[in-house]
Amino acid sequence: MSGSSQDLDPDSTTDVEFVRDTEEELIKECEEIWKDMEECQNKLSLNGTETLTNSNAQLSLLIMQVKCLTAELSQWYKETPQITPLTDDVLLTLGKEEKNTQARTTQLITLHEILEILMNRLFDVPHDPYIKISDSFWPPYIELLLRNGIALRHPEDPTQIRLEAFHQ
């Protein structure tokens, strides 16, 4: 046994102590950094709870919107558009998608007819004056009626509209 204790290199015990000291120093540094992070987190959470005046709140909202829009713009600049390959199959599919919209547009009804349907529904069924928007309604006509307050959307079903009750 005494021979094995003499075999230990005196430098190896100092290496172990050096490793322990270094490890303790690293742990202390990590704990200090962790405390700094906690302090920063506390400051950030307190900043979010500050009460702002209306003008300051509006200003901060506008600044946040500018930042969001700037980030979105930079993202759009980074994106490259994908070009559709003009193979025979693609051209054929695009051509078919084009006759269907053209074929459908021949079945559109006039603004006068839409208004007539809305008025008839309002007077015939006053307890349920909504009509379902069909494909025969030209979307710009529907948008025109809605934007000018002539028609209103159903509060629960956006595919239904009714005439504003001007007669009341």
- Name the DSSP letter for residue 160: E
Is the residue at 55 inside a domain? no
- Residues found in the chain: 168
**Residue 47: its H or E element:** helix 10-48
Is the residue at 2 inside a domain? no
**Residue 85: its H or E element:** none
Task: Encode pLDDT of 2-21 as tens digits.
Answer: 444 455 555 556 677 777 78
**First vs last C-alpha separation in the chain:** 110
Task: Tokens 């094995």: give the residue.
Answer: 4
| 8 Å CB contact between 90 and 84 | yes
Number of domains observed in the structure of the chain: 2
Can you give the pTM of this predicted structure? 0.40
Boundaries of domain holding 44:
12-48
Is the residue at 30 inside a domain? yes
Task: Encode pLDDT of 20-34 as tens digits.
Answer: 788 888 888 888 888
